[in-house]
A = this chain, B = another copy of it.
């Protein structure tokens, strides 16, 4: 088994999910490569060191440029805030490193395009962490659609509902709260949550042609977490949009952080001529499936408990009936990335795949501004 030396940038929530994935993947998957936790990098060297001790990273860097310069690093994994993705990814590509990048790929489509160009010029293996593609139930949905079971698609609908920013007392910006700071995050729910919905949708249902969006910022001013200054809130607290896909289907998308009672309720449903599929992150191990070809009297939505060996990824885990959770999607993504290295067929979504979501987000945010339908532009 060959080593795959990882250099991780960032030690937050995503730094943890990635570290866990690298540590677990070879225990459950037979692979040609074994990720080695070579170095973690963060501006605060003390925090990086504590994180390294906790997770077994062999060394610490406090400047990502130094990390990129190290010969013992094969792969740069970017798990730092959105505004750092482009510079690190482009430099890493130039340094000939493989690059994994947290989602969303970029702050804008234009920025994302420069990243894709750099990555493709360097011809380095690359992937973006749209982890929900690898929930077994979601992967199963993809298989069912690709097998043509749904027939012509009429409708797609997705939501990502949270409720953690309702309090006007919640500050914005700084550690742990950068997602509320538009300068760091680029946007609010659109880039954070709808990006997930769009990535899945495009993967399952093909390209989006045109969108029509509205956004809202319910709490207009918040204190900054570090400076204490009261500042205008620049992000979108909520965003909903209508869309039309290339295949003629209609869609509604919605995301908010003001939906009381929902912590991370990502749901999607797709209605086809012959069958429909629905899924929900709060019970991620289940897929709802309705097949109109079932005999009429006993037709009903099937609640599929996706824990059997013949369902995606599940033969690697425990026994039927015993569910896995959120973290496992990252393990699957590492496993698939490594299998892509071996096979030469890159795991999706690549940077190029993820750029599509960026273009849709751009159209969504522009539509919210212009109050008009916007085509998705792919310059």
Interface residues of A (CB under 8 A from B): 13, 16-17, 19-20, 23-24, 26-27, 54-56, 140, 143-144, 150, 154-155, 157, 159, 161-164, 166, 212-214, 216, 218, 238, 240-242, 244, 248, 250, 252, 254, 256, 258-265, 271-276, 281-287, 289-292, 294, 296-305, 307-308, 310-311, 317-328, 371-373
Contacts and interface: CB of A to CB of B under 8 A. Distances in A.
Nearest to A272: B260
Contact of A19 (B27, B214, B371): B27
Tell me whether chain A's interface is mostly helix, strand or loop, or mixed: mixed
Contact of A155 (B26, B238, B322): B238
8 contacts: A20-B24, A23-B23, A27-B55, A154-B256, A162-B321, A252-B254, A281-B322, A291-B298
Q: How many copies does the complex hold?
A: 4
A379 B118 CA distance: 58
Given A264-B319, A264-B321, A320-B264, A373 B371 contact: yes
A336 to B, nearest CB: 19
Interface centre among A154, A238, A274 (most CB of B within 10 A): A154
B297 A300 contact: no
Contacts of A258: 154-155, 271
A57 to B, nearest CB: 11
Contacts of A287: 300
Contacts of A213: 242
B271 A318 contact: no
A213 to B, nearest CB: 8
A140 B297 contact: yes
Contacts of A325: 285, 322-325, 328
Contact of A261 (B144, B286, B301, B328): B301
A285 B324 CA distance: 11
The 10 closest A-B pairs by CB, nearest first: A264-B321, A263-B321, A261-B290, A300-B302, A300-B304, A322-B326, A325-B325, A154-B258, A263-B320, A261-B276
Contacts of A241: 242
A370 to B, nearest CB: 11
A297 B373 CA distance: 40
Nearest to A167: B273
Contacts of A307: 263
A272 to B, nearest CB: 6
Contacts of A162: 321
A46 B149 CA distance: 45
A56 to B, nearest CB: 8
